[in-house]
With several copies, the nearest count.
Chain A
């Protein structure tokens, strides 16, 4: 990702407009769906960084949100449900020059995808992971997700949700993610800025975005968030792990912005280091045969 390291967001001469990242496929989301805001913010962030679509891969799972890659004119990998992070890891390890961005839903990422989430965090693989968190399963028509609120009523929880609500930000922080942010679909400029910062960040960057499902989630609506979201205070020190954990300990009001940001070697850097340490001139299998003679 040379360009993100040598250029700063502010001084970058904008060569590509947000619309240049739009593909011919029309989004299939319901009118009003929060995911439109996320898509637009992503367009903006990509254009702010002037990212080359031919050197970018969006990786998604299954869900309404996971259809996003088709709407962007970059390379895309629309895999199976819950496996964004392994696929993204494989892509980045295969070609560290690529900008790799995972995009998907809360069900995809925090329910079935939980297998991979803490591991991607601890590996600090240099990818961005954008979760459109609508606290519900949209595509399957409205069931609870791990981020659904207590006593949330759906067709599978007619008596109310009795499972605790997961806090993905805190899990990311304690698992070793080096960039943890929260965005809101209705704050597009703010969100674009966060996404751009996440892409620029060397290491695993989680951006969890409140992106209301207007069709099935009648609790966490745009109205609900109005007055409940606020920007992360300027005084917050994003390198302070416990301060970040505290900020993420949301109850009634939700901080939007970058909660946590530190640096440590990324997986791809460490893998490159291993290659260097292992280096031999003209490696040959012929040579390896000697061990078996």
Chain B
């Protein structure tokens, strides 16, 4: 790391339920407000209490693409956390640990700073609850941040608990801050001033960005059922939506949530739900109904780790198959995947637009690492995604309205209850243009073709805007085709590989169904080899590419519950280049 630049990683590990997450969030916000870029990652046990929480912040004076590979400062607040993570601390890095909880350890080649955090909090401040603020003070001092940065965030965090609590936390902050001064030889500041503090940024995570984007996108009804790691989308929408004349309902389960969404969409509102794998599984039947009866719906799936209940607080990209293929017989659907926190804000608006315009269910595949990745993003452009409205028919005479009219685009103007003379019955039974149940082979062919034609239209007209290419594919040693939350890490890995003489380019389609086949094949034809990295076990995206395109991807599928490590992906790029 260049001495005059800022780019370092702090990892916090401590007992679940002991305030580690909030310590991480305070630290992150404090640093972001000083003008730094931040990029975080968290993982925690599935239980409410017990087990170790891990929070990692990377801080830099330039845009960040990953949460980093090597830890510069490791803050260990419990023994299990210490043991599980100490190996990640790079040579020359610093260990700060709570000496009340973690026994003394020698760490050759690393600085070691013990702080009796609990003792300070209890004895000096008189409240064990201030432990994490003591730690905050220590960390801020260690990395060279002004204590005021901590004061502001402490005030904000605790002000609703009253002045006394704020004062106690000020004390705690300073106690931690001052305690560190005795370790002067370790404290070579890692923070280097930023030129100018950019206030046109947000410090936000994927779920929050998605929630705001949805509200901005005209959401009329949100129906959901709690499930980790999607719940906080609902929690972010709940206090806001009624102000925008929308309705939020906690349903009795995911089937009901989607039923409410379909009802609301049928009745003319933009509607969505968000869930994770188990919930998406339960929605399969009604997603199909939406495709067949041509009802708009947006379903966000925040993928989590493991099959069945699996690893509910971990991350994976394991639901692609279910999103693409989770339908008996065949009806159209669209699958989108945001690639960054910023993208969450925009892509959900596209999802609402596509659902509305094409009268299809749209599944948005996020994942836990993206959902809870708190980082700095440029303040979103509220005008970037123009609203697409539903195509509605002219008022008519009841009995004459061809709800499922066969058109060139496949889109049939869709009436909204209340419109005059357009009463019709939406149905999941195969039907003719007038929505009457019809069982002939000819009708089946005609209607199924019409319905799928909508996807062709979407693909032909809009595929390009959903594809991002990084680097120059022409003659690249390795062309990476990836999807979803891995984009940043992959870009960083490309850079790392570049330093070792391997040139890579990357293509990220944010629209996975319909798949922009032409663009993908064109990209593949320009690179020497195609590598498809993804966070699952069987290589779902690679198999999908093989099925749908003529390219021959090399799959790198790795399922750990954690995001990719840029170093690890770099190795893969180099390996493939040398194959």
A–B direct contact (CB < 8 Å): yes
Question: Cβ of A114: which chain B residues have Cβ within 8 Å of it?
Answer: 252
The A-contacting residues of B in range 464-497, CB under 8 angstroms, are none
The A-contacting residues of B in range 169-215, CB under 8 angstroms, are 199, 201-204, 208, 212, 215
Please report the C-alpha to C-alpha distance between residue A144 and residue B224 in the assembled complex, in whole angstroms: 12
Please report the C-alpha to C-alpha distance between residue A136 and residue B308 in the assembled complex, in whole angstroms: 23
Please report the C-alpha to C-alpha distance between residue A158 and residue B241 in the assembled complex, in whole angstroms: 11
Bitwise interface map of A from 269 to 291 toward B, beta carbon under 8 Å scored 1, else 0: 00100110111100101101100
Contacts A70-B436, A293-B201: A86 and B208 contacting too (C-beta < 8 A)?
no
Is A91 within 8 A of B418, CB to CB?
A: no
Bitwise interface map of B from 18 to 54 toward A, beta carbon under 8 Å scored 1, else 0: 0000000000000001000000000001111111000
The B-contacting residues of A in range 211-233, CB under 8 angstroms, are 215
A5 at the interface (CB under 8 A from B): no
Contacts A90-B221, A91-B266, A91-B417: A115 and B253 contacting too (C-beta < 8 A)?
yes
Name B262's contact: one of A24, A87, A92 (CB within 8 Å).
Answer: A87
Looking at the assembled complex, report how far the CB atom of B326 sits from the nearest CB atom of chain A, in whole angstroms: 15
Contacts A80-B309, A155-B235, A285-B382: A73 and B253 contacting too (C-beta < 8 A)?
no
The A-contacting residues of B in range 556-574, CB under 8 angstroms, are none
Please report the C-alpha to C-alpha distance between residue A58 and residue B437 in the assembled complex, in whole angstroms: 17
A255 at the interface (CB under 8 A from B): no
| Number of A-B contacts defined by CB within 8 Å | 238
B113 at the interface (CB under 8 A from A): no
Is A94 within 8 A of B418, CB to CB?
A: no
Question: Cβ of A94: which chain B residues have Cβ within 8 Å of it?
Answer: 220-221, 247, 263-269, 271
Residue of B nearest to A116 (CB): B256
Bitwise interface map of B from 428 to 442 toward A, beta carbon under 8 Å scored 1, else 0: 110000011100000
Residue of B nearest to A23 (CB): B399
Contacts A28-B49, A285-B215: A156 and B250 contacting too (C-beta < 8 A)?
yes
Size range of the interface on A? Answer: 35 or more
Please report the C-alpha to C-alpha distance between residue A209 and residue B539 in the assembled complex, in whole angstroms: 46
Looking at the assembled complex, report how far the CB atom of A269 sits from the nearest CB atom of chain B, in whole angstroms: 12
Name A285's contact: one of B212, B227, B286 (CB within 8 Å).
Answer: B212
B285 at the interface (CB under 8 A from A): yes
Is A73 within 8 A of B398, CB to CB?
A: yes
Contacts A62-B309, A275-B245: A74 and B423 contacting too (C-beta < 8 A)?
yes
Please report the C-alpha to C-alpha distance between residue A157 and residue B293 in the assembled complex, in whole angstroms: 32
Is A75 within 8 A of B262, CB to CB?
A: no
B234 at the interface (CB under 8 A from A): yes
The A-contacting residues of B in range 392-445, CB under 8 angstroms, are 398-399, 415, 417-429, 435-437
- Which B residues contact A (CB, under 8 angstroms)? 17, 33, 45-51, 199, 201-204, 208, 212, 215-216, 220-221, 223-228, 231, 234-235, 238-240, 242-245, 247-253, 255-269, 271, 278, 285-286, 289, 293, 308-309, 379-380, 382, 398-399, 415, 417-429, 435-437
| 10 additional contacts (CB under 8 A) given A70-B437, A85-B256 | A67-B47, A81-B278, A86-B259, A87-B260, A93-B247, A94-B247, A94-B263, A140-B231, A141-B48, A163-B250
- Which A residues contact B (CB, under 8 angstroms)? 23-25, 28-31, 53-59, 62, 64, 67, 69-70, 73-83, 85-95, 97-98, 111-112, 114-116, 119, 137-141, 143-144, 146, 155-159, 163, 215, 271, 274-275, 277-280, 283, 285-286, 288-289, 292-293
Q: Shortest 10 CB-CB distances between A and B: which pairs?
A: A90-B263, A86-B259, A76-B425, A90-B260, A278-B242, A94-B264, A94-B267, A112-B253, A28-B47, A87-B263
28 contacts across the A-B interface (CB closer than 8 A): A54-B422, A59-B263, A62-B309, A64-B48, A70-B437, A73-B398, A75-B425, A76-B427, A77-B425, A78-B427, A79-B286, A86-B259, A88-B263, A93-B260, A111-B252, A115-B256, A141-B231, A155-B235, A156-B231, A156-B238, A156-B250, A163-B250, A271-B247, A275-B242, A275-B247, A277-B242, A279-B242, A288-B212
